[in-house]
């Protein structure tokens, strides 16, 4: 789904702000244990840590805990020096990127549908081969469906799942730099693609660094999907096309797309057939456990997919992704990996099996090892979503099988990369800087949830555990852990210059909240 259009022009980072190199002012923070942790027996400590685990609270070392009872205020607020923006070092966008015209990085991007094609789509002059209203491939029983397709091997890879708004091209470049093997574009709606909406087509763009790249399409009918696939196949540069069967948003489900497809196997068959007729690459299906918690539907749907894939030829369906939650569960409970294992096992032994790739709650190598044990029959592709948003270096941790105690300045370097890639992609004029900032802020609404490894009493950090108030090992670490969006704006100013006076920001995704304690999430939130 296309994200926002270009916003009002922003001010250029001023020379005055760029020269402000003084470190943020330190303010008094009341620590819970000012003289360090009181002595504790090993048994008492183990019991305390178990109690925190049961309450979904992160076990942060005592010397970093902040006393929130005294004064009642948010001590991190003081520590982060909010309101001290002018005193923070502010960087300008790289000079070479600040020329007007096309964004500097455009030459390195492929999968761009030419403007005249988009125009023809908009004017409804594009000559589609797929007839409007058709429900099955015109050549259903003829060989073209059985064409040879370039295979995609997900086994042993780290895959960054589609992420609406936040999974943009600059973010994926960052993830690729940190070891992601496979990336995917944000969900694009076929009706919007077929109408030639350029903001929707922009979601399909790929950077040359993305080694293996898929796009995710959402459709409710075979003809919608087939038409979009025609254009994707002709002008795109993709290794696979993923069908969205998990989007919980009413706007999509009420029309029969997204998670609603979990209950419409005939439609899925039609979409698959009409898509494959037009594509020279394989398809993948990304589904949920079901619509409601019960009955569970993914094992039945994956069974159908296995049979269809057998019929439509080798390489037609590369794999099935199963997000271990139902549409209605959102993030209110842990992903059900035991059920993902059931989906993998339920396939028919008499015909070739599809790789089933589980998804949900992978935030560390320890998590990944645990999921492998729970679901040994699934494909060993680590599919990341919020874990990649909160810890963009997670692919490195998985490849190197370790927990990385990354420093705050290294994390700021990651954001510096994003700012550079963002200006490459969106342009370095006022509009480009504004968009880059918006998307950086959206990302920061997830990034701040990271708790540094060095502060934890027991590893790893779990996706849904809430941290108590804590200070970092330095001011930057404290600032980066702030859950106040004004602090995220401060971070954005360190990279992209000052915001205009009337600037405000509210994150789009509610999914950044902690599921375990969040009962306010709406069905419109991702998950």
Ligand X SMILES: Cc1cc2nc3c(=O)[nH]c(=O)nc-3n(C[C@H](O)[C@H](O)[C@H](O)COP(=O)(O)O)c2cc1C
Using CB under 6 A, list all residues that contact ligand X.
Answer: 161-164, 166, 186-187, 216, 244, 246, 286, 323, 335, 359-362, 385-387, 509, 511, 526-527
Nearer to ligand X, 130 or 512 (CB): 512
Nearer to ligand X, 363 or 495 (CB): 363
For residue 101, the minimal CB distance to ligand X (Å) is 31
For residue 386, the minimal CB distance to ligand X (Å) is 3
For residue 512, the minimal CB distance to ligand X (Å) is 7
For residue 384, the minimal CB distance to ligand X (Å) is 6
Catalytic residue check, 247? yes
Query: Which residues, other chains included, contact 180 with Cβ-Cβ below 8 Å and sequence gap of 6+?
Result: 158, 159, 160, 172, 384, 388, 395
For residue 506, the minimal CB distance to ligand X (Å) is 15
Instruction: Give the span between the Cα atoms of 123 and 117, in whole angstroms.
Output: 10
For residue 29, the minimal CB distance to ligand X (Å) is 31
Among 247, 253, 379, 381, the active-site one is: 247
Instruction: Give the span between the Cα atoms of 374 and 358, in whole angstroms.
Output: 10
Q: 292: burial class by Cβ within 10 Å (0-12, 13-18, 19+)?
A: middle
Question: DSSP strand E in 182-328: where?
Answer: 182-184, 188-189, 206-207, 212-218, 240-245, 283-288, 317-323
> For 470, what's the count of Cα atoms within 13 Å in the CB-facing half-sphere?
27
Nearest alpha-carbon partner for 371 in 356, 391, 393, 352: 356
Q: Is the peptide bond before 364 cis (omega within 30 degrees of 0)?
A: no
Spatial contact of 316 and 281, defined as CB atoms under 8 Å apart: no
Q: What angle do CA 49, 54, 55 make, to 5 degrees?
A: 95
Nearer to ligand X, 309 or 362 (CB): 362
Nearer to ligand X, 340 or 419 (CB): 340
Nearer to ligand X, 17 or 244 (CB): 244
Instruction: Give the span between the Cα atoms of 5 and 7, in whole angstroms.
Output: 6
Spatial contact of 178 and 395, defined as CB atoms under 8 Å apart: yes
**Sign of the C-alpha dihedral computed for residues 392, 356, 152 and 137 taken in this order:** negative
For residue 360, the minimal CB distance to ligand X (Å) is 4
Nearer to ligand X, 216 or 364 (CB): 216
Q: 390: burial class by Cβ within 10 Å (0-12, 13-18, 19+)?
A: buried
Nearer to ligand X, 97 or 161 (CB): 161
Active site residues: 247
């Amino acid at each position: 789904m296309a994200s926002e259009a270009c916003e009002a022009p922003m001010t250029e980072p001023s020379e005055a702000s760029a020269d402000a190199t003084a470190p943020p002012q330190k303010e008094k923070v009341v620590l819970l244990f000012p003289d360090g942790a009181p002595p504790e027996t090993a048994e008492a400590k183990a019991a305390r840590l178990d109690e925190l685990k049961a309450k979904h609270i992160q076990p942060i070392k005592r010397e970093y805990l902040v006393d929130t009872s005294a004064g009642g205020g948010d001590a991190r607020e003081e520590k982060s020096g909010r309101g001290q923006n002018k005193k923070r070092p502010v960087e300008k966008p790289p000079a070479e990127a600040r020329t007007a015209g096309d964004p500097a990085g455009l030459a390195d991007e492929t999968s761009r549908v030419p403007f005249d094609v988009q125009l023809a789509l908009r004017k409804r002059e594009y000559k589609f081969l797929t007839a409007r209203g058709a429900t099955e491939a015109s050549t259903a029983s003829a060989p073209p469906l059985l064409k040879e397709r370039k295979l995609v091997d997900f086994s042993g890879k780290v895959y960054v799942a589609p992420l609406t708004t936040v999974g943009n091209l600059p973010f994926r470049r960052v993830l690729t730099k940190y070891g992601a093997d496979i990336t995917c574009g944000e969900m694009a709606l076929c009706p919007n693609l077929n109408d030639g909406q350029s903001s929707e087509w922009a979601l399909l763009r790929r950077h040359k660094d993305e080694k293996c790249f898929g796009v995710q399409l959402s459709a409710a009918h075979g003809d919608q999907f087939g038409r979009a696939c025609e254009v994707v196949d002709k002008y795109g540069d993709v290794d696979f096309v993923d069908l969205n069967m998990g989007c919980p948003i009413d706007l999509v489900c009420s029309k029969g797309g997204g998670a609603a497809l979990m209950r419409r196997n005939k439609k899925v068959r039609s979409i698959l057939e009409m898509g494959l007729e037009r594509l020279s690459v394989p398809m993948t299906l990304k589904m949920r456990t079901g619509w409601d918690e019960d009955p569970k539907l993914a094992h039945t749907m994956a069974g159908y997919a296995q049979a269809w894939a057998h019929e439509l030829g080798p390489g037609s369906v590369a794999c099935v992704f199963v997000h271990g939650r139902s549409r209605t569960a959102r993030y209110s409970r842990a992903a059900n990996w035991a059920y993902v294992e059931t989906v993998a096992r339920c396939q028919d032994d008499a015909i070739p099996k599809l790789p089933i790739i589980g998804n949900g709650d992978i935030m560390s190598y320890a998590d990944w090892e645990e999921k492998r044990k729970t679901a040994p029959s699934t494909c060993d592709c680590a599919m990341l979503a919020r874990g990649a948003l909160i810890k963009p270096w997670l692919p490195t941790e998985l490849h190197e099988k370790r927990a990385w105690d990354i420093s705050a300045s290294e994390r700021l370097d990651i954001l510096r990369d994003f700012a550079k890639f963002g200006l490459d992609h969106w342009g370095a004029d006022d509009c480009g800087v504004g968009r880059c900032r918006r998307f950086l802020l959206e990302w920061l609404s997830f990034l701040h949830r990271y708790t540094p490894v060095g502060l934890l009493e027991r590893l790893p950090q779990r996706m849904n555990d809430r941290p108590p108030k804590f200070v970092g090992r330095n001011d930057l670490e404290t600032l980066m852990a702030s859950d106040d969006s004004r602090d995220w704006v401060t971070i954005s100013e360190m990279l992209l210059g000052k915001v205009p006076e009337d600037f405000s920001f509210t994150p789009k995704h509610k999914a950044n909240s902690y599921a375990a304690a969040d009962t306010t999430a709406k069905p419109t939130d991702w998950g």
